[in-house]
Amino acid sequence: MHAALEIKNVTHKFGEFKALDKVSININPGDFTVLLGLNGAGKTTLYSLITRLYNNNTGSIKIHNFNVRENSSNALKNIGVVFQQPTLDLDLSVEENLHYHSALHGISTVDASSRISEEIGRIDLNDKLKSKVRSLSGGQRRRVEIARSLLHRPKLLLLDEPTVGLDIGSRQMILKHVKALCKKGDLAVLWATHLIDEIDKGEKVVIIHNGKILESGDVSKVIKKTKQKNIREAFNKLVGIKT
Amino acid sequence: MKLIIYFRCFKGIVLREALRFVHQKERFFSALVRPLVWLGIFAAGFRSVLGVAIIPPYETYIPYEVYIAPGLIAMIQLFNGMQSSLSMVYDREMGSMKTMLVSPIPRWFLLCSKLFAGVFVSILQVYAFLIIASLWGIIPPISGYITILPALVVSGLMLGALGMFLSSAIKQLENFAGVMNFVIFPMFFASSALYPLWKIEETSEWLYYVCFLQSFYLCC
């Protein structure tokens, strides 16, 4: 079976500044992997390379064995993305936004309608389908973005700090929803965050700092390797935060 | 990739632009008011100042309102092209452009669809203007409403492409005001939209050639 996401030796520079330095990550189908790093660690740059918003000139990025550089169309078909910055059109309704996304993936209107009602039901926002996005709360908008990212049935879901700026209730609801999606099927998730409390035991973590991967693997393995009591202490030790 | 997938994508992009236009009532209103102000106020004031000789395609003397109507139609498309450009800069700054860029459909097709979507919206505005302009007595032959369509598509594509080029050059939304001063107004005034070019030629020959060669003149 192919890896859901296979990144090998990817380096990316902005002028002289090296934003990513020989990054390699492997995510299998069904994995919930947390990409943990401080602000400016290189998480968003990595996401931009995976989604082809930036061209990667070094190493390789494969999604279900489709190289993003050489076979971008097939690679992108398999990715669902929730960007750090909200990307819904505020002037359109929830339904119109979701139909627009479906069209961008070539899904017919009939298929899109049934998928929209399924996904919107899953996030419990049936009553907001006809509402303008502008009238939704931050948490509701995020849930709509997650529903949108799943409409084309991707095999890899990328979320870039999806809970930033949300209250505790909305954060927990979104986290629980995505983790449940991951458990149900073969959907692989790469969840970028700087919030350590979003990581549970038994999950996989990739710690990134100043563009380099410092450690990766099961949470328990990382804790053991760094000889710390929990993942927070392990992270602090790796990135050099003194407590 | 199958042709039907491209078609669905194209339809989705056009529909989104049309819905945005319809939902933004102020945009629709201002798109109509702008040319109507020129037609109702400017033309009323200038009809007695400017005498327009018989020039093709007209076979007789025409009221000034009739003369400037094609120029105002081109103005609608010019402003719409710039509006599309502004909307692209806004989308890029706000992040919604990313939704489009992560689509598996090739980017050249997405860009062309976006361009055609802008043209479609501009054509809606032009026909709305023509309906209202008929109240001023600007009533072309019925066939004129149909024969204008291909011309609108071509000029809309040209002005929309210019808007897209500008949006790639403008990095910040704040810089867009400069476009008004340095692109829209010079293009509009250095054309035959408000006065025939021979009138400019009488005053300044080099300015005549500048007007003759600039793209907006072709739209008028």
Q: B129-188 pLDDT, tens per residue? A: 999 888 888 888 889 899 999 999 999 999 899 888 888 877 776 776 777 677 788 888
Residues of chain A with Cβ-Cβ distance to B105 below 8 Å are 73, 104-106
Residues A75, A66 contacting (CB under 8 angstroms): yes
Whether A83 is covered by a domain: the verdict is no
Structure tokens that stand for B38 in this block: 């020129």
Q: Do A100 and B15 touch (CB under 8 A)?
A: yes
Q: Do A106 and B4 touch (CB under 8 A)?
A: yes
d(Cα A85, Cα A101) in Å, to the nearest integer? 17
Same domain, A99 and A195: no
Q: Do B9 and A99 touch (CB under 8 A)?
A: no
- Label residue A68 left, alpha or beta by phi (over 0 means left) and psi (-120 to 50 means alpha): alpha
Of A144-148, A220-224, B31-35, B50-54, minimum mean pLDDT range: B50-54
Same domain, A225 and A165: yes
Whether A183 is covered by a domain: the verdict is yes
Same domain, A61 and A112: no
Q: Per-residue pLDDT tens for A44-92? A: 999 999 999 999 889 999 999 999 999 999 999 999 999 988 899 988 9
H/E stretch holding B37: helix B25-37
Q: Do A91 and B20 touch (CB under 8 A)?
A: yes
Would you call the peptide bond into B57 cis, given omega within 30 degrees of 0 as the criterion? yes
Residues of chain B with Cβ-Cβ distance to A107 below 8 Å are 8
Whether A85 is covered by a domain: the verdict is no
Same domain, A230 and A201: yes
Residues A1, A173 contacting (CB under 8 angstroms): no
Q: Which of A74, A89, A100 sits opposite B12 (nearest CB)?
A: A100
Residues A157, A80 contacting (CB under 8 angstroms): yes
Token pair 């069904």 is at which residue? A30
Domain stops at, among A130, A153, A176? A153
Interface test with A, best of B15, B102, B108 (most A CBs within 10 A): B102
Same domain, A167 and A66: yes
Query: In which order are the strands placed within the sheet that holds A17-27?
Result: A17-27, A5-14, A60-63, A66-67
d(Cα A23, Cα A46) in Å, to the nearest integer? 9
Whether A84 is covered by a domain: the verdict is no
Q: Do B105 and A85 touch (CB under 8 A)?
A: no
Q: For residue B51, is pLDDT > 70?
A: no
**CATH number of the domain within which A68 lies:** 3.40.50.300
Whether A87 is covered by a domain: the verdict is no
Closest residue, chain A, to B106 (C-alpha): A73
Q: Do A74 and B20 touch (CB under 8 A)?
A: no
Compute the nearest-CA separation of B162 from chain A (Å): 24
The whole-number average pLDDT for the span B178-201 is 79
Interface test with A, best of B8, B94, B97, B108 (most A CBs within 10 A): B8
Compute the nearest-CA separation of A104 from chain B (Å): 5
Residues of chain A with Cβ-Cβ distance to B16 below 8 Å are 89, 92, 96, 100, 103
The whole-number average pLDDT for the span B43-47 is 74
> How much is the mean pLDDT over chain B?
83
Collapsed DSSP state (helix, strand, coil) of residue B115:
helix
- Number of structural domains (chain A) is 2
Residues B39, B71 contacting (CB under 8 angstroms): no
* pLDDT band of B49, cuts 50, 70, 90: low
Q: For residue B198, is pLDDT > 80?
A: no
Domain stops at, among A105, A136, A153? A153
Same domain, A72 and A126: no
Same domain, A74 and A134: no
Report the pLDDT value the prediction gives residue A57, as an integer from 0 to 100.
Answer: 85
Whether A184 is covered by a domain: the verdict is yes
Same domain, A124 and A175: no
Q: Which residues of chain A have pLDDT under 70?
A: 243
Report the pLDDT value the prediction gives residue B220, as an integer from 0 to 100.
Answer: 62
Residues of chain A with Cβ-Cβ distance to B12 below 8 Å are 99-100, 102-104
d(Cα A126, Cα B50) in Å, to the nearest integer? 61
Report the pLDDT value the prediction gives residue A50, as an integer from 0 to 100.
Answer: 95
Q: For residue B204, is pLDDT > 70?
A: yes
Report the pLDDT value the prediction gives residue B1, as an integer from 0 to 100.
Answer: 67
Write the single-letter amino acid at A137. Answer: S
Whether A88 is covered by a domain: the verdict is no
Same domain, A166 and A226: yes
* Domain of residue A62, residue span: 5-78+155-239
Same domain, A17 and A135: no
Structure tokens that stand for B196 in this block: 């025939």
The more confidently predicted of residues B24 and A63 is A63
ipTM of this model? 0.87
Residues A27, A188 contacting (CB under 8 angstroms): yes
Token pair 């050099």 is at which residue? A240
Same domain, A161 and A205: yes
Report the pLDDT value the prediction gives residue A205, as an integer from 0 to 100.
Answer: 94
Closest residue, chain A, to B113 (C-alpha): A104
Domain stops at, among A103, A130, A153? A153
Q: For residue B205, is pLDDT > 70?
A: yes
Same domain, A208 and A170: yes
The whole-number average pLDDT for the span B192-220 is 76
